[in-house]
Amino acid sequence: MSTDAPTGPLRVLVFGASLRTGSTNARLASLIARLVTDTGATADLAAMRDFQMPLYDGDAEAAEGLPSGALALRDRLERCDAFVISSPEYNASVPGVLKNAIDWVSRVQPQPFKSKHAMLVSASPSMVGGNRGLWALRVPLEHLGTRVYPDMFSLAKAHQGFTGDGVLADSGLQQRLAETVEAFLRLVEADVRYVCLQRRWYEFLGDRTEAPITQRAED
Ligand code: FNR
């Protein structure tokens, strides 16, 4: 076991992926940040508005590098052990603003997604809670090497879903969400502190220029 495994509280970035004032996903992110804190971990609560950036444009990247919003998201990702995204579903898929942010940040080398765990949640006024969008969101994240937690949480009828003090109106769902967050963080803790994990992730196909193995904990 590595003697330099991190010993402080787990650090979890939690962000709502809607730009909208009054976003139900921002409310869900806020609730999850509270649940993260309840487990003894630290939560860094963020909103999509913290990471404003133009549409990805290869010419702009070549001329000016990454926009400040993408670099800000990169910095917040680098400072966490795991992240939670609460995302709306747009037309049964990932909102363009979120995919655009992932695309920009994926241009950082080394990109920060490959060494993180993620949990995906959604809120929607619909009866399925935006769950289809989360399946679409798994694809770019898993492509980038993120360990995406198998269990997801989708809040249906989200516009009626919260009490005045920000917890879920349905106490059974509140309990389930708390248990899912706790189980997710137990897995993150096992990886960050104890598991000897080796992974291979290349920056792009054919890239052999950087040490390809990321080791999170070593014997
Ligand atoms: C939506 N919405 C939506 N909801 C859903 O459950 N499935 C869907 O496919 C879509 N598609 C969709 C497309 C577009 C362009 C918009 C603007 C909206 C509704 C969406 O879930 C609702 O607006 C949520 O309230 C958005 O999340 P926030 O902003 O409350 O976090």
Cα–ligand 1 centroid distance for 52 (angstroms): 20
Domains and CATH numbers, the chain: 11-218 (3.40.50.360)
**Ligand 1 site: residues with CB under 6 angstroms?**
18, 20, 23-25, 88-92, 123-126, 130
> Residue 110: its pLDDT value, please?
87
Mutate to test the pocket of ligand 1, among 21, 124, 127, 137 (most ligand atoms within 8 A of CB): 124
Residue 120's φ and ψ, nearest 5 degrees, are -110, 130
pTM beyond cutoff 0.95: no
Mean pLDDT score across all residues of the chain: 90
CA 121–ligand 1 middle distance (angstroms): 14
Each residue's pLDDT, cut to its tens digit, for the chain (219 residues) gives 444 556 799 999 999 999 999 999 999 999 999 999 999 999 999 999 999 999 999 999 999 999 999 999 999 999 999 999 999 999 999 999 999 999 999 999 889 998 899 999 999 999 999 999 999 999 999 999 999 999 999 999 999 999 999 999 999 999 999 999 999 999 999 998 876 555 555 555 554 445 444 444 433
pLDDT tens-digit readout, 34-64: 999 999 999 999 999 999 999 999 999 999 9
